[in-house]
Amino acid sequence: MIRVNKEVSLQSFNTLNLPSVASHFIELTDEADINAVVDYASVHSLPILWIGGGSNLVLSDRIAALVVHISLRGIRLIHESKQRVLVDVMAGENWHHFVNESVLKGWFGIENLALIPGTVGAAPVQNIGAYGVEAAEFIDSVRCYDVASREMVELSQQACGFAYRDSIFKRNPGRYLIISVRFSLNTQFMARLGYVALDEHLHSLGIDKPSANDLLNAVVAVRQSKLPDPSDLPNAGSFFKNPVVDQHVFESLKKQYPSLPYYKDLKGYKLAAGWLIDQCGWKGKRLERVGVHAKQALVLVNHSEGDRNDIDELSNKIKHDVKVNFGIDLEQEPIAYP
């Protein structure tokens, strides 16, 4: 028997701390209840919004939907070989807790993704990434409930259509409820230190050959020095994706802005959205109740009681300025609902 609550505040369920009320709300603690949840939504003609930690959401004042907070728990070792382990993790597990557990157990690969807020179930949604590592590299498969066909499906890594901060889950909002994620992790540790900030931090501590624990601690320290903790200063992390442009656009921008930072890969030239926003004079600026973080221009923050309109207004002004100055359309990363 499921228990649906009505008119529930979602303010503490989103890290931007936006005021928002869900017309219908349920805590999902048992996967056996999924059919009943989907039936309820269908009988009451409600769309469904699955939420985890609410750290990648931009909510409006009222959500006329069945909001389902995923609280499915459990971490289970499925198979172990000399090189790899397969681990099943339920969607409601805290992501950072899983990273810590993995290092403790000697399962390696995801250290660079430490301290990303939110749940394991949301990790495949935008294929979370940081410091040159993406979750997709370590996802073997995703077990989910397909609302369209009303059946359980197991999607292989390939079927998830992972891309830069993207996947089929993000492209089909509400369709798949991710129940658990199967990770394939290494039993041998290899540090990934491509990002200067991590390397510099470890060197400042005199560490040349970091252990997995050293790397995890370095990621935590570097992130804490730069990114606002949502419980102190509400935010949803990077508000825009880094734009990727072709050679022609890149060369003309580089001519105009010789100090333009860029990273070339197979897809083109990735520009740092934070740098573009900073150049437009937005870093540390405030628009009454909301603003741009002083240490990282990619992060929009809610200073005091800002709402969805405030965030939309700030984001639109930033997008406008970046378009006028650089000719680039910034794409929002957190999911706006509705």
Q: Is 238 a catalytic residue?
A: yes
- Between CA 295 and CA 236 the distance in angstroms is 15
How far CA 92 is from CA of 28, 75, 187, in Å, comes to 9, 10, 25
Query: In this complex, which beta carbon is closest to ligand FAD, that of residue 246 or of residue 263?
Result: 263
Nearest-approach distance from CB 195 to ligand NAP, in angstroms: 5
Of 260, 263, 265, give the one whose Cα is nearest residue 327. 260
- For ligand FAD, give the closer residue by CB, 90 or 276: 90
| Residues 248, 253: Cα–Cα separation, whole Å | 9
Cα–Cα distance, 170 to 157 (Å, whole number): 15
Helix, strand, coil: what percent of the chain each, to 5?
A: 30, 30, 40
Cα 139 → chain centroid: 15
**Count of positions on this chain that bind ligand NAP (CB under 6 A):** 17
In the block, residue with structure tokens 């930033």? 318
How many C-beta neighbours within 10 Å does residue 247 have?
10
Among ligand NAP, ligand FAD, none, partner that 306 touches (CB below 5 to 8 angstroms by kind):
none
Q: Which is nearer to ligand FAD, 10 or 253 (CB)?
A: 10
# residues contacting ligand FAD (CB under 6 A)? 36
Segment interacting with ligand NAP (CB under 6 A) among 19-27, 29-37, 168-176, 191-199: 191-199
One of 237, 243, 291, 306 touching ligand NAP (CB under 6 A) = 237
Among 263, 316, 320, 331, binds ligand NAP (CB under 6 A): 263
**Of 20, 55, 238, 315, which is the active-site residue?**
238
Cβ atoms of residues 253 and 145 within 8 Å: no
| DSSP H/E element including 250 | helix 247-256
Q: How far is the CB of 135 from ligand NAP (least distance, A)?
A: 12
| Strand bridging mode 244-245 / 235-238 | unpaired
Q: Is 335 a binder of ligand NAP (CB under 6 A)?
A: no
Choice from 14, 15, 296, 302 touching ligand NAP (CB under 6 A): 296
Q: Is 165 a catalytic residue?
A: yes
Which of 150, 226, 267, 320 lies at the binding interface for ligand NAP (CB under 6 A)?
226
Task: Decide: is 131 part of the binding site for ligand NAP (CB under 6 A).
Answer: yes
The helix or strand, by DSSP H or E, that contains position 92, with its residue range, turns out to be: none
Catalytic residue list = 165, 238, 333
User: Interface residues with ligand FAD (CB under 6 A)?
Assistant: 15, 49-57, 70, 91, 116-119, 121-123, 125-126, 128-130, 165, 169, 173, 176-178, 227, 230, 235-237, 335
